[in-house]
């Protein structure tokens, strides 16, 4: 069974495709240039247009003839739920204008608009002028119980709704107060220095290795790496200038001599124009591509931990701490607003462990194996 459904993604209408395990259908979906997979909805989707819809329906209806070459007994059944464009919930112009006026980043603006759009879509036929606190609570329960979204997504949804009520409608907080979900305390994944070295050594591509060196050299966020320009590198002072980083704040961080020595070869061969790490078309390199590079290199290096670009940032901070760098300097290099955020690295560092002995190691425990005793 194949089901096509309308799906709103970041404020744009898409066609979601659900099907049972079938390589033929997957091949058809993958043939569309702008297809994407949604982890949240567990489906593939493509941007909505009449031409895309017609092409998709035509190919799926004849999937047995086109793909299977008469190797199956019957045609694949197709159920199409009305995929015409639903009337989109109206978001007031003031919402986007206020986000822009207050200096929110592009990514945050897109996130807020998408989250608020999803909320308005849920409470229909109510609009942004007449929803209540009960509607908000009902929507959050829907996100938790049915959508099973993460705590982070729940908080994003609350922030988007709060922004409308507090910043656009100028309402009092008591009118719409909702308890925040408890965010579980998790420790960051950190690679050892040996694992970092193996990761870098197995990355042979000049551009890919340059990106990994820069991420670890200054503890960069992936968005900060992709916004770098050649002028942001101050070789004489050994620093990287990060313009308009998270929170729209500028800061400086470390530029390793090792990283810059390798980066010179990259600049000489690739001759980057606008962005230090641009894509084939000259646009910014994509976050997904960087993380895919890291995952491939991790596998080659035999690293079993779940590694991403942010893992290199966590490792940078932890290794600085283990080498005696003061937390205040690490906080500044990472661009953390609160020292509490930086303090979590004290929970993953091994600094000082070499002076501590487990009490078990002080006991005279008989560790001789008795292979004859197989009692269960």
pLDDT at 27 over 70: yes
Model confidence at 283, in pLDDT bands (50, 70, 90)? Answer: confident
Location of structure tokens 């620093």: 239
**In the chain, how long is the greatest CA-to-CA distance?**
79
Exposure string of 285-315, with b = 16+ CB inside 10 Å and e = fewer, is beeeebbebbeebbeebebeeebbbbbbbbb
Query: Does 15 share its domain with 125?
Result: no
Query: Does 203 share its domain with 341?
Result: yes
Both tokens assigned to 303: 């690293």
Considering 117, 162, 251, 313, which one is annotated as catalytic?
Answer: 313
The domain boundary residue, chosen from 144, 176, 208: 176
Task: Give yes or no for a contact between 256 and 319, defined as CB atoms under 8 angstroms apart.
Answer: no
The domain boundary residue, chosen from 43, 59, 80: 80
- Would 289 be classed as within a structural domain? yes
- Would 124 be classed as within a structural domain? yes
- Would 86 be classed as within a structural domain? no
Catalytic-residue membership of 306: no
Catalytic-residue membership of 347: no
Backbone angles phi, psi at 309, to 5 degrees: -60, -35
Model confidence at 194, in pLDDT bands (50, 70, 90)? Answer: very high
Query: Does 263 share its domain with 219?
Result: yes
Query: Does 282 share its domain with 137?
Result: no
> Beta strand 78-80 with 2-9: parallel, antiparallel or unpaired?
parallel
- Would 376 be classed as within a structural domain? no
The domain boundary residue, chosen from 176, 203, 233: 176
- Would 181 be classed as within a structural domain? no
pLDDT at 201 over 70: yes
- Would 23 be classed as within a structural domain? yes
Neighbours of 224 (CB within 10 A): 23
Catalytic-residue membership of 208: no
Neighbours of 132 (CB within 10 A): 12
Query: Does 204 share its domain with 328?
Result: yes
CATH number, domain with residue 313: 1.10.443.10
Considering 246, 295, 296, 344, which one is annotated as catalytic?
Answer: 246
Catalytic-residue membership of 173: no
Query: Does 262 share its domain with 294?
Result: yes
Task: Give yes or no for a contact between 154 and 280, defined as CB atoms under 8 angstroms apart.
Answer: no
The string of pLDDT tens digits covering residues 59-115 is 776 554 333 333 333 333 444 444 444 455 678 889 999 999 998 888 888 889 889
- For 62, the domain range is 2-80
Query: Does 202 share its domain with 337?
Result: yes
Most confident region among 57-71, 91-105, 278-292, 317-331 by mean pLDDT: 317-331
- Would 362 be classed as within a structural domain? no
What does the pLDDT read at residue 372? 66
pLDDT at 356 over 80: no
What does the pLDDT read at residue 80? 46
Catalytic-residue membership of 345: yes
What does the pLDDT read at residue 66? 36
pLDDT at 8 over 80: no
Query: Does 293 share its domain with 221?
Result: yes
Q: Which of 251-255, 267-271, 315-319, 364-368 has the lowest mean pLDDT?
A: 364-368
Query: Does 283 share its domain with 339?
Result: yes
Mean pLDDT value across residues 336-354: 84
Model confidence at 249, in pLDDT bands (50, 70, 90)? Answer: confident
DSSP for 187-222, written as a single string: PPP---HHHHHHHHHH---HHHHHHHHHHHHHT--H
d(CA 52, CA 186): 42
Considering 221, 227, 251, 314, which one is annotated as catalytic?
Answer: 221
Mean pLDDT value across residues 321-338: 92
pLDDT at 154 over 90: no
Exposure string of 180-217, with b = 16+ CB inside 10 Å and e = fewer, is ebeeeeeeeebbeeebbebbbebbeeebbbbbbbbbbb
Backbone angles phi, psi at 2, to 5 degrees: -115, 130
Task: Give yes or no for a contact between 217 and 256, defined as CB atoms under 8 angstroms apart.
Answer: yes
CATH number, domain with residue 136: 1.10.150.130
**Number of domains the chain is built from:** 3
- Would 354 be classed as within a structural domain? no
Considering 5, 147, 167, 310, which one is annotated as catalytic?
Answer: 310
Query: Does 133 share its domain with 6?
Result: no
Considering 61, 295, 336, 344, which one is annotated as catalytic?
Answer: 336
What does the pLDDT read at residue 118? 87
Query: Does 158 share its domain with 244?
Result: no
Both tokens assigned to 78: 């197709």
Q: Quick check: pTM over 0.85? A: no
Considering 112, 216, 260, 345, which one is annotated as catalytic?
Answer: 345
Query: Does 286 share its domain with 332?
Result: yes
Mean pLDDT, the chain, as a whole number? 82
Rg (CA), the chain: 26
Instruction: Give the three-state DSSP class for 109.
Output: helix
Catalytic-residue membership of 221: yes
């Amino acid at each position: 069974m194949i089901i096509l459904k309308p799906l709103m993604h970041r404020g744009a209408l898409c066609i979601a495709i659900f099907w049972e395990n079938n390589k033929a259908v997957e091949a058809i979906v993958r043939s569309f240039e702008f297809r994407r997979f949604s982890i949240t909805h567990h489906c593939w989707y493509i941007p909505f247009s009449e031409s895309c819809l017609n092409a998709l329906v035509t190919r799926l209806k004849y999937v047995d003839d086109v793909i299977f070459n008469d190797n199956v007994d019957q045609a694949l059944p197709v159920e199409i739920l009305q995929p015409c464009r639903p009337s989109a919930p109206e978001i007031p112009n003031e919402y986007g204008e206020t986000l822009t006026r207050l200096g929110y980043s592009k990514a945050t603006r897109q996130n807020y608009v998408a989250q608020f759009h999803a909320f308005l879509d849920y409470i229909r036929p109510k609009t942004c002028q007449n929803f209540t606190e009960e509607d908000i609570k009902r929507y959050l329960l829907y996100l938790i119980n049915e959508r099973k979204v993460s705590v982070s997504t729940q908080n994003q949804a609350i922030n988007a709704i709060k922004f409308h009520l507090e910043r656009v409608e100028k309402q009092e907080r008591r009118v719409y107060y909702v308890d925040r979900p408890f965010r579980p305390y998790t420790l960051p994944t950190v690679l050892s220095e040996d694992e970092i070295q193996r990761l870098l050594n197995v990355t042979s591509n000049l551009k890919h290795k340059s990106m990994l060196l820069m991420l670890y050299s200054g503890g960069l966020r992936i968005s900060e790496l992709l916004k770098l320009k050649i002028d942001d590198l101050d070789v004489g002072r050994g620093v990287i200038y990060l313009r308009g980083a998270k929170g729209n704040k500028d800061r400086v961080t470390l530029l390793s001599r090792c990283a810059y020595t390798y980066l010179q070869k990259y600049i000489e061969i690739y001759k980057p124009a606008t962005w230090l790490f641009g894509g084939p078309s000259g646009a910014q390199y994509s976050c997904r591509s960087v993380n895919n590079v890291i995952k491939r290199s991790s596998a080659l290096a035999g690293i079993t931990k779940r590694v991403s670009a942010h893992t290199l940032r966590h490792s940078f901070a932890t290794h600085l701490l283990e080498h005696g760098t003061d937390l205040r300097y690490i906080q500044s290099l990472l661009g953390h607003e609160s020292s509490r955020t930086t303090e979590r690295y004290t929970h993953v560092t091994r600094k000082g462990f070499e002076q501590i002995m487990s009490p078990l190691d002080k006991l005279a425990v008989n560790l001789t194996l008795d292979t004859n005793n197989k009692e269960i």
